[in-house]
Amino acid sequence: MVTNFNKLSVNDQFQEFPSEELEESSASSKGGTNFKPYLRTLIRKAWLVLGLTTLGTSAALFWNAQAPNMYTGNFYLLVEPITPFSKVSDPSTIARTGGVPRDDLFSLDYPTNLAFLQSPGMTFQLAQDVHQKKPTRSVPAIWQDLRKNLVVERVGRTPTTATKIFAVTYKGEDPQEVKAVLEVAADTFLNYSVEDRETSLKAGVKFIAEQLPALQERLKKLQSEQERLRQQYDLINPTTKGQEVLTQLSNIEQQLLDVQTELKAQQSLYQTLRGQLNFTPEEALAAASLSQDPTRLPLLTQLQQIESQIAIESSKFTPENPTLKALEEQRQNLSNLLDQTTQEIIQQNSIITPGNSDILNHQDPTRLQLINQLVQTNNQIQQLEVRYQSLQQTKARWEQQAKLYPAVIRQYEDLDRQITLTSQILDRLLTQRETLKVESAQELPWQLISPPQIPLDAEGKPVAEPPDPKKKLAAGLMGGLLLGAAIAFLWEKQRNIFYGVEDLKDAFSLPVLGNIPWDNASDSVPGLTKPLEGKSADSESEIDPHVIHSLNNRGVLFLNAFDLLYSELSFLYNHPPLHSLVVSSVQAQDGQTTIALYLAKAAAATGKRVLLVDTNLASPQLHSWFNLPNYKGLSDLLMDEELASYDVIQPSQEIDNLFVLSAGSAQAPASKLLWFPRMQSLMRELKVRYDLIIYDAPHFYESTDIGFLGAQTDGIVMVVGIGKTPPYLVKQAVEEINKLRLPLLGLVANHTLPAPIGFF
C-alpha cells in the first residue's frame, strides 16, 4: 500500500485535471439517480431477462389453460325512491323538515353501505346461509369465494350518471351455487335494510327517552336558581338594575362633592367670624344671651347713667363730697345687683365663663349680628358634616352593591343561557322523537327490481365464461421480467467488475483518457497473451523466441486506440505539455505494461524522443517485448554511480525515436532503489534529453514506488482492466492518490478479455 511521502515536491510542470470539468462531472453524478448503469445491465443480460420473461409468460398461459369456466349472475336493488316526488312526499322527510322538505337532505351514504355489504362479517353470514341451503362445500371455502368474487357496486359511478341502484354480481364454477348465493344475498340485503332501519329508529327513540328526564330535571333546577337570584337581588331586568346602581352611585358622588364644597365655604366663613369676635360659638351664644336679657339691660343702663353722673360730679367735688359718696354707693349697689343678675342668667343657661371674659361686656348690635352669624355658620357646618357622613355611608352601601351586581348579573345571564340551551335541546329531542315515531311506520326503502339470474343460452342452459388470460399473462410477464432483472443485477453485483468504459465514467469524476479494445491479433502468435506481463523475465535465456511479438503486428483498432490516448493526453495537458508520466494499475494482468509500451510507440510516431523506463524492478517485462538484453538497466544505474545512462539506455530496433531503459539485473532491495537520491538526479537528467518519459511502475498495491514516481513526474495514468478489476480496489487507489495529493491524469479502460455474448 502506498504510504505518506515526506520531503517530496511536486514537479513544477504538474498539470491537474481542470477544476471546472471535475466540478461539472461531479455535479452530474450527484444531480440525481443515474439509470444508465441499470439500463446497460439489462442490455448485457437481455438473454437472461428475455428467457425468464418468456418462461413466466408460458407458465401464465398454462395456468390459464387449466382454469375452469366461470358462471356469472347478478341482481339489482333500488335503495332510494326513483322520483323526487316520492322522496319529497316521504312522511319522514316532512316530519324532519317541518313541512318544507329538501330532496338532498337524507340521501343514502353509498360508500359506507357498499363497504358494509362486502365486509367480512356480511360475507361470512352469507356463506353460512348458502351452506345451509346448498351444503356441497364448507363455510370457509364458500366464504373465501364470496370475498373474492362477490361484487356490490353502484350503477353509474360518475356524478352525472350515478343512479340509486346497487348491482350485485357473483361468479363461480357451479351455476347452481352461483344462483343460490345470489338468492341468499338478495334476501339478506333486503332484511338488512329493514333491520338496520328498525334498529336505528328504536335505538334513537330509546336514547331520547333516556335523555329527557335528566334534561327536564336540569331545566327545573336552572329555573329555580334563576328565580332565587331574582328575588334575592330584586332582579327584574339584570342589565337595568346594574345601570340603576351605577346611576345612584354617580348621584351620591356628586352630592358628596357638593356637600364637601359647601362645607369648605362654611368652614372658611366660620374661621373669619371667630377671628373677628374672638368667641367660640358657645361664648358667642352666652354673650348674646347676656346682652339681650330684659332683666339685666335696665340695670346696665342705670349703672351707665350713675357712672356718667359720677364723672360729672367728680369734676366739681372732692371724693369726700356727700353727693359724690352717695353716687358711688349707688353705683356699687347697682354693680352688685348687676353681678347677681348676671350670675343668675349664667347659671340658668349653664354657661361657664372666666371672671374677666368679654362675654360679660355689653354687645352692641353689630357684634350681636356677627354673633348670630357665627352661631348659624357653626350650626350649618355641623349639619353639613352630618350629611357628609350619611352620604359616605350611603356611598359605601352602593359601592358594595356595584361590586356585587356584575357577578350576580353574570351568574344570572349564565343561568339564562343554560336555560335557553337546555330548552332548545329538550324541544329538539321531543321533535326528533315524534319524527322517529313517524319514520318507524314507513315501508321498506330497498326494493328488488331484478331477481337473481344467470344468462342462459337458446336451450336454457347457463352460459359459461372462459377464464380471462389478461391478468395471468400480465402477472407472468411482469414476474418474469422483474425476476430476470433482479437476477441480472445480483449477478453483476456479485461479479464486481467493470463491464465497459461507461461503467468507469459513472463510477469516477475523472477523465477516461482511453478505451483500449481486445486485440484478436495476439491469438495468432503462439504463446503470446497479454497476461505475459505477470511473468518474470530476469535474463535473456528465459525468453521464448516464439512469444516475441512484433509491435506492429496488431489490429488497426487496437493501435488507433493508443493514438487517441496520446491525443487525449496532449489535448488535456498542453500548457505546459507533459514531459513525464507514470503508468500503473491496481492489479496484475490489467495490461499496464502493454499500455505503457504502445503509448510510447504512439508518442514516438509523432517525432518526439520517447524514453520507456521499466521501474518494475521486482518483475521486469519491457525488455522481453523488445527482444533486448537485461543485464544492465535502471537498477545498475542506481547502484553504480560511475555508470552513465548512455551505456544502459537502448534504442528500439523496430520503432524510431523510441528508447528503452530496462529494469536491470543489479542485486538490491527493489523497493528501496527508487528512493535513492541518485534516482531524482537521473530523472532530472532524462527529462532534459527526452521529450517524453514513460515510467512503467509496479502495481499500486505492490510497492510504495508509485508514490515517489508520481511526485516527481507530471502525473499518473491508472490502467483499469475491464471485465477483471474490482471497482472497490480502483476506488481505494484513487482515494489514496488524492489523499497524498499526487497528480492523477486520468484512467485508461483496458479490455484484457474478449467480450462475451451480451457483453458491452
Q: What integer is the mean pLDDT of 652-664?
A: 89
pLDDT tens digit string along 241-272?
667 777 777 888 888 888 888 888 888 888 88
335-370 pLDDT, tens digit each: 777 677 777 766 666 565 655 456 666 666 777 777
Res. 690 pLDDT band, cuts 50 70 90: very high
What pLDDT, on a 0 to 100 scale, did the predictor assign at position 352? 58
pLDDT-derived band at 318, boundaries 50, 70, 90: confident
Residue 210 has pLDDT above 50, yes or no: yes
Cβ burial 208-217 (10 Å sphere, 16+ → b, else e): beeeeeebee
Does the 511-535+542-751 domain belong in CATH 3.40.50.300? Answer: yes
- Position 472 scores a pLDDT of 66
- State the pLDDT confidence band at 408, using cuts at 50, 70 and 90: confident
56: part of which helix (H) or strand (E)?
helix 46-66
Q: Is 580 left (phi over 0), alpha (psi -120 to 50) or beta?
A: beta
Percent of the chain with pLDDT over 70: 71
Grid cell listed for 467: 377464464
Closest CA to 503 of 757, 495, 738: 495
List the alpha helices (DSSP H) in 446-524.
Answer: 469-495, 501-507
Specify the pLDDT at position 598. 93
Greatest C-alpha distance within the chain: 202
Query: pLDDT, tens digit, for every residue of 320-336?
Result: 778 777 877 877 777 77
Highest mean pLDDT among 211-225, 300-314, 709-723: 709-723
Q: Is the pLDDT of residue 665 over 90?
A: no
Start-to-end CA distance of the chain, whole Å, equals 32
- Phi, psi values for residue 752, rounded to 5°: -80, -10
- Is the pLDDT at 735 greater than 70? The verdict is yes
CB 151 within 8 A of CB 170: yes
Cα 629 to chain centroid, rounded = 75
> What cell does 611 get?
524514453
Q: Give the span between the Cα atoms of 67 and 309, in whole angstroms.
A: 169
What is the tens place of the pLDDT at every residue in 65-78? Answer: 666 777 888 888 88
Provide the pLDDT for residue 668.
Answer: 57
pLDDT band at residue 64 under the 50/70/90 scheme? low
Residues 6+ apart with CB under 8 A from 310: 324, 327, 328, 331
Mean per-residue pLDDT of the chain: 75
Highest averaged pLDDT of the listed ranges 338-347, 637-646, 692-701: 692-701
- Note the pLDDT of residue 694: 94
Q: Which of 74-83, 155-164, 284-293, 418-427 has the lowest mean pLDDT?
A: 284-293
Helices (H) and strands (E) counted in the chain, each on its own, are 24, 12
| pLDDT, tens only, 428-476 | 888 877 776 666 555 456 888 888 888 877 777 887 777 667 766 777 7
pLDDT of residue 259: 84
The Cα–Cα gap between 671 and 587 comes to 17
Domain range annotation of the chain: 242-408, 511-535+542-751
pLDDT at 542: 42
**Which pLDDT score is estimated for 360?**
62
